[in-house]
Amino acid sequence: MSQRSWTIAVLPGDGIGPEVVSAAISVLEDCAREFGFSVDLVKLPFGGAAIDDSGEPLPPETLNECNAADAVLLGAVGGPRWDSQPLERRPESGLLALRRELGVYANVRPIRLREPLRALSPLRLAPGVTIDFEIIRELVGDIYFGVHSTEGHGAGERASDVATYIVPEIERITRFAFERARRRGHRVTSVDKANVLATSVLWRKTVTRLGAEAPDLTLDHLYVDNASMQIILRPQQFDVLLTSNLFGDILSDEAAALAEANGLKVVMNRCPKIEYGRLSSEISWIGVNSRVLTSKRAQGLGNGVQRMRLGHGTLQGGTTDAADRTQKDEENSS
């Protein structure tokens, strides 16, 4: 018998985060009643709210509960209120620490233009042209997790950030992207900057090697500057776009603007276990980028759309019938 009960760590976060997460919980609870499963929701302090409460963006008890949970439902974190803090004291440092501690290295960013929202896209697409691709972003390596240093004063002040990748990190995210592509159109575009960055040279070399072992997939490569341009010029050419942490952070925000407001974008971070070519999820972390939603009108829009998507995303890891229903309901209400 399949599992019918899940423990979900709920991190409401900051800004619009608590409002949207509360609405997502209502979707989960409605689905639980409709489809006969149960969810144990454990609300925990995180981000700026946790800093105000305990002085830490990721309190130990929050991390412990997240490690014990089946999934993590995460709202927005951060805001101008904490921007003057040192890097290690900002809400975003808690976000990076949570990613690292949970090992959620695979970030899935769906970019899909729904027909009712077509008029909101900044692009004027020809009739019949659709936007439907995924950005797979490596999430626990690269420059965000390197050494950050500042030294000196005045005109002699110097800062540096170290970007590092090792082969196993690139291999595991590449295999994950390949599995996603096999569920879609069997096409993968790897994005790097191999003409100037050593990490990108290793990235392309590793992805190319694994691509040669996957004859069922079509693999190509783009430099990140060209990829940024192609997302605007011909977004319909992409199926699965694979890239590193920094590049994925930037490209996914750009791409989200094509299909919907960035603040309505729901993301899924997963810690998958891949054995003998099979993929199974150990933990899912569903989040939303909502910091940009500040006006009451925008917050109302974010609440209505995000609650469907957060609910759908959280359900994907457990009960597919309920997940399918929320997906259909969102499309019908768009």
Q: Longest Cα pair distance anywhere in the chain, in angstroms?
A: 67
Kindly report the three-state secondary structure assignment for every residue of 171-187: HHHHHHHHHHHHCCCCE
Tell me how far apart the alpha carbons of residues 214 and 210 are, in angstroms, rounded to a whole number. Answer: 7
Tell me how far apart the alpha carbons of residues 62 and 53 are, in angstroms, rounded to a whole number. Answer: 13
Query: Quick one: CA torsion of 46, 49, 52, 57, rounded to 10 degrees?
Result: 30
* Active-site annotation holds for 225: yes
* Residue from 225, 273, 321, 328 carrying the catalytic annotation: 225
Tell me how far apart the alpha carbons of residues 313 and 288 are, in angstroms, rounded to a whole number. Answer: 10
Instruction: With residue 223 as reference, give the H or E element that holds it.
Output: strand 218-223
* Closest by Cα among 289, 274, 330, 320 to 109: 289
Terminal alpha carbon distance of the chain: 35
Tell me how far apart the alpha carbons of residues 245 and 242 are, in angstroms, rounded to a whole number. Answer: 10
Instruction: With residue 282 as reference, give the H or E element that holds it.
Output: strand 278-288
* Residue from 70, 239, 249, 265 carrying the catalytic annotation: 249
* Residue from 105, 193, 239, 265 carrying the catalytic annotation: 193
* Residue from 14, 70, 142, 144 carrying the catalytic annotation: 144
* Active-site annotation holds for 253: yes
* Closest by Cα among 299, 325, 331 to 312: 325
CB-CB contact of 11 with 73 (8 Å): yes
* Active-site annotation holds for 193: yes
List, by residue number, the catalytic residues.
144, 193, 225, 249, 253
